[in-house]
């Protein structure tokens, strides 16, 4: 499922126009992104949790030359599925 498929599903299930459904989906994505960018987390009970983790700096290798390169530390968004979602997927 891509974003357009999600918009169509929201439109059908909530009896919204496709424009309203697109605005709703964009607003949800924006709210999640804004919270994660400020260092917070988003907990959706029964669905899962969006969190930000810190990845330490490491040394890697350039595959073409074999030269050692420094990979800087970064923050990574992660999603942990909730119990209900895991149950649905595994049933």
Q: Pinpoint the alpha helices (H) of 1-91.
A: 3-14, 18-37, 83-90
**Can you give the residue range of the structural domain that contains 86?**
3-90
Q: What is the CATH number of the domain that holds 18?
A: 4.10.520.10
The pLDDT of residue 65 is: 92
The pLDDT of residue 31 is: 97
Number of structural domains (the chain) is: 1
pLDDT in tens, 33-82: 999 999 999 999 989 999 999 999 999 999 999 999 999 999 999 999 99
Contact 42, 36 (CB under 8 A): yes
């Amino acid at each position: 499922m891509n974003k357009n498929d999600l918009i169509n599903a929201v439109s059908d299930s909530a009896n919204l126009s496709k424009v309203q459904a697109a605005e709703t989906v964009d607003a949800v994505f924006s709210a999640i992104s804004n919270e994660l960018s400020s260092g917070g987390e988003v907990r959706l009970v029964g669905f899962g949790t969006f969190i930000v983790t810190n990845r330490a700096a490491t040394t890697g290798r350039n595959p073409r030359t074999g030269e050692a390169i420094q990979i800087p530390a970064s923050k990574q968004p992660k999603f942990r599925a909730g119990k209900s979602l895991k149950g649905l997927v595994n049933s």
